[in-house]
A and B are shown apart, each in its own frame.
Chain A
Amino acid sequence: MSLLAQGALLAADNTVPTGEAVTFWILAPIALGGAIGMVLARNAVHSALLLVCTMLSLGVFYVLQAGPFIGMVQIIVYTGAIMMLFLFVIMLVGRHTRDSLIEVLRGQRLAAVILGVGFAMLLGTGLARGVGSVTAKGLDEANANGNVEGIAKLLFTKYIFAFEVTSALLITAAIGAMLLAHIEKKPGEKLDQKVLSRNRFTKGNYPGPKSGPGVFATSDSVATPAILPDGTFTERSVSKVVPARELTLTEARPKATNGNKQDGEIR
């Protein structure tokens, strides 16, 4: 609690306590580095983890600034739930996709960076000049009955309607996720144990174990189908992925291991 009490304190000349200043100077570079790293990292997983760093630092800043509740929510909801959801989706879809370095719009990156630096300098100097003259009031008074109580009081009085309306957002989100991710199985499509075993013994189906590839075959390659006792080939013996992986002539050529010959060159 001493940290919180400290956070609310402000000296008369508008400077923050030394403890807070030290924490800020340690965490601000981390937050900044995380943000820059997120933009620069080529791998989406790295981006997400660097963003988590930034968000955790921001969570500490909230606690420092007399907002323990919002700081905890930041850590639990933002880093704990939202960023983990991001990581899940990256693992599902985009882990291998890396950004191409080719610019589709020529000069767009440079223009964006110049624009961004200009924007940041404008805003930063504006804020520094604009706010510096005003003394911060601090939250001692507002937090007198505790931060959570203060927030609850505002949330359930002044902001009650916005609070109720967010329920519409959450319902929309749930419906949206269902709509875009859930495939309903038709009654006939669900294959239970009974149906599966019936299918196995239906006419025209061979219920025994499948013959392995290469058994009675003309070659020992896994891509060669087995020969049944009646002399016919059985395609069932070849795994479905094998034909898809069949190599082209160029790929199957003997490759030179070293020396002055080009790879794959046949003399």
Chain B
Amino acid sequence: MTPDYYLILAAVLFTIGAVGVLVRRNAIVVFMCVELMLNAANLTLVTFARINGSLDGQIMAFFVMVVAAAEVVIGLAIIMSIFRSRRSASVDDANLLKY
């Protein structure tokens, strides 16, 4: 086994996340799928840090976690506020904006 296996695992995880965003309707689950995509990107970064022999990849993964934390707060606050207004977290129910 070589470190490339990590990269392939990350690519598969990223794809699962992307497909999940497209097929799921619950806003919270869609958001979790985005988090999975970020995690896959992090695994790629950490693996490439090892392949390239520099710590930059690990630092970037660290930054991604900080950014993700801030993003989660904002995202869940928005989902909460929309849920309180209409008692549903489905993205299909959010359909006022059509022409």
- Name A's B-contacting residues (CB within 8 A): 8, 10, 14-16, 20-21, 24-25, 28, 31-32, 35-36, 38-39, 44, 47-48, 51, 54-55, 58, 61-62, 65-67, 69-70, 73-74, 77-78, 81-82, 85-86, 89-90, 92-94, 97-100, 104, 108-109, 112-113, 115-117, 119-120, 123-124, 127-128, 131-132, 134, 136-139, 141-143, 147, 150-151, 154-155, 158-159, 162-163, 166, 169-170, 172-174, 176-177, 179-181
Contacts and interface: CB of A to CB of B under 8 A. Distances in A.
Contacts of B89: 93-94, 97
A65 B3 contact: yes
Contacts of A21: 1
Given A38-B20, A62-B58, A173-B74, 13 more contacts: A38-B32, A47-B32, A58-B39, A62-B46, A65-B3, A67-B61, A73-B65, A74-B61, A78-B68, A82-B35, A82-B69, A136-B3, A174-B73
Please tell me the size bucket of the interface on B: 35 or more
Most A CB contacts (10 A, CB to CB) among B73, B77, B83, B89 go to B73
A28 B56 CA distance: 24
Contacts of A124: 8, 11-12
Nearest to B92: A104
Most A CB contacts (10 A, CB to CB) among B6, B31, B59 go to B59
Contact of A176 (B12, B56, B77, B92): B77
B69 to A, nearest CB: 6
B50 A32 contact: no
B1 A134 contact: no
A74 B68 CA distance: 11
B53 A139 contact: yes
A170 B69 CA distance: 8
Contacts of A39: 16, 19-20, 23-24, 33
Given A77-B65, A173-B70, A89 B28 contact: yes
Contact of A123 (B2, B5, B15, B63): B15
B80 A92 contact: yes
A5 to B, nearest CB: 14
Contact of B72 (A24, A82, A163): A82
Interface string B69-89: 111111011111101100011
B96 interface: no
Contacts of A62: 43, 46, 58, 61
B77 to A, nearest CB: 4
Contact of B62 (A54, A115, A120, A151): A151
B53 A38 contact: no
A66 B50 CA distance: 8
Contacts of A99: 24-26, 29, 90
A70 B12 CA distance: 21
B73 to A, nearest CB: 4
Most A CB contacts (10 A, CB to CB) among B26, B43, B58 go to B58
Nearest to B16: A35
A137 B16 contact: no
A137 B13 contact: no
B73 A176 contact: yes
Shortest 10 CB-CB contacts between residues of A and residues of B: A137-B53, A116-B19, A112-B22, A120-B15, A39-B20, A173-B70, A180-B77, A173-B73, A93-B83, A94-B89
Contact of A70 (B27, B29, B62): B62
